[in-house]
Amino acid sequence: MLRSIWAGRAPLSSWLSRRPLTAGLSASAASTTSTAPPYVQHVRIKLRRRWRNAAIGASVMYVCWSAYFSRVVVPPLADHIEEDGAPIFVPFPFTFKVVESRPYKGTDPEWQTYIRIAKDRELLLKIRNDLLETVRAAAEANPILTHRCGRQMKVRKHWLDLDFPYRPPPKVTRNGLMLTAEGLEYVEAEVDHVTMMRISRALWPEPVALSASSFVTTLLRQNVHNVARFFGFEPSENDPSAVFRSFAAKHDRTPQDLHALASELKRRLEDADAKDARARPGKKDAGVATDITGPLSPPQSPSSSSSPSPQDKDDPNRILNAKDLIPFESLRASIDDAWLDFKKKLAETWLPLRPQPPSGSVGVSGLVELQSPNSRIMIEVMAFWDPKTRKYDTPTMHMKLRSIRPRAQMPL
């Protein structure tokens, strides 16, 4: 400790006058001191053996936990297992593993079933017809399709392929503790595929992250456009044709609605040209630009309007919305557009959780075209036909709308 204190004071002592250590001694004592060897003292520091205390503490804790687990926890669970007969599995987190199944052999019953199905022409035709009827019934049961395309749908064309898988679906395993009547074991048990997907989606919510990124991107882009307008730069989105195209893309309209909107746009353009011709030469046409870039939706009746009136906003009994907390109307509009993009991206990325198809099932995939009184509907389908039940597995069936084309088209 004295050495450290003296080392800390060394810079201060360098500025002071130094005197030799033998200044106050006599000549004989000084000569003896200068010729005598220095005295060195060795100090041995004994470290505390903490590892011994840690080992003793860990041993005591292990013994206490083993006694508590074997005498307090295990007996009630063992009695419960003996009564019900079902073992208890305690899984460990982050131990999911996908294990590929071995391919089918020629002697396996699933492969022999595939051979019988491939040789039976009537059964193959029945498999296709059952899927076509299922797709048609699902399309007629959809209220959105029936409202837009009408009822009385029938199959016009189909492109379906039958697939005989070479191996069963992969299995999902998880490590954990299995408590049975014989005792406790560390095992690797098979779990449901949907359970694994739910846990993975909860731990890594990728669809929500992508949707949030789309929300932030749209909000930043609109704020940049607002800043550009503030400094006098007009983005290209203010073009009436661009506004019309974006409106038609965002709102899924029928050809009649689009034709009416085109007529409304043409009328507004003519009115804007007439106002511009009557305007004075030095007058700015800010009002004309505002009129062109206004909403192009058809006029609505007061009863169908969704925006609250000023009297409704001042009503204290009205239920407040989350958007009412935002004070600026322009900011509300930008958040509405960003929220629409968030919901659109979430609908694209948040896919439903489907289990694995049954082992030995036949895959059927392709396109089915339906014909309604005024439209043609193209549907993409993926399904699995189970030979054991001789029906399609409903939880694994997937249908996706590809396109809707009108039977009689007209120019907009």
For residues 310 and 276, the model is more confident at 276
Q: Is 309's pLDDT higher than 70?
A: no
pLDDT for residue 162: 92
> What's the CA angle centered on 25, arms 19 and 26, to 5 degrees?
130
Number of neighbouring beta carbons within 10 Å of residue 6: 10
| 353: its two tokens | 């959780």
Parallel, antiparallel or unpaired: strands 362-371 and 171-179? unpaired
The residue that leads in pLDDT, 208 or 411, is 208
- DSSP lists the bridge partners of residue 188 as 175
Question: Does the pLDDT at position 294 exceed 60?
Answer: no
How do 154-163 and 171-179 pair as beta strands? unpaired
Cα separation, 163 vs 287, in Å, equals 63
412 pLDDT above the threshold of 80? no
Q: Which residues pair with 340 in a beta bridge?
A: none
Once rounded to an integer, what is the mean pLDDT over residues 200-219? 87
pLDDT at residue 379 greater than cutoff 90:
yes
Mean pLDDT of all residues belonging to the chain: 75
Look at residue 254 in the predicted model and tell me its pLDDT.
52
With a CB cutoff of 8 Å and minimum separation 6, the contacts of 22 are 29, 30, 33, 34
Which tens digit of pLDDT belongs to each residue from 252-276? 555 556 566 666 666 766 776 666 6
DSSP class of residue 233 equals P
Confidence at 382, pLDDT banded by 50, 70, 90: very high
Does residue 71 or residue 287 have the better pLDDT?
71
CA-to-CA distance for 134 and 152, rounded, in angstroms?
14
Nearest to 142 by CA among 412, 399, 409, 408: 399
pLDDT tens track for 70-109? 777 777 777 776 666 677 777 888 888 888 889 999 899 9
Q: Quote the pLDDT of residue 166.
A: 92
Cα angle 166, 385, 142; round to 5: 135
pLDDT in the model for residue 121: 92
Residue 346 reports pLDDT greater than 50: yes
What confidence tier does 321 reach under pLDDT thresholds 50, 70, 90?
low
Where do the structural domains in the chain lie, given as residue ranges? 48-83, 118-167+352-406, 205-278+324-350
Q: What's the average model confidence in pLDDT over 322-348?
A: 72
Residue 182 pLDDT class (50, 70, 90 cuts): confident
pLDDT in tens, 136-170: 999 999 998 888 888 889 999 999 999 999 999 99
250 pLDDT more than 80: no
Q: Give 221-246 pLDDT, tens digit per residue.
A: 888 877 887 777 765 544 444 444 55
CA distance 142 to 302: 31
DSSP state, 171? E
**Average of pLDDT values for 198-223?**
86
Calculate mean pLDDT across residues 105-114: 92
Tell me: pLDDT of 128 over 90.
Answer: yes
Instruction: State yes or no: pLDDT of 192 exceeds 80.
Output: yes
**Range with the poorest average pLDDT among 125-134, 167-176, 300-309, 379-388:** 300-309
Indicate yes or no: pTM above 0.75.
no
Could you give the percent of the chain with pLDDT greater than 70?
A: 63
Which pLDDT score is estimated for 138? Answer: 92
Structure confidence by residue, pLDDT tens digits, 22-54: 555 555 555 555 566 777 777 766 556 677 788
Average pLDDT over residues 313-338: 60
pLDDT tens string 171-180: 888 888 887 7
Question: Among 180, 199, 176, which residue's Cα sits nearest to residue 189?
Answer: 176
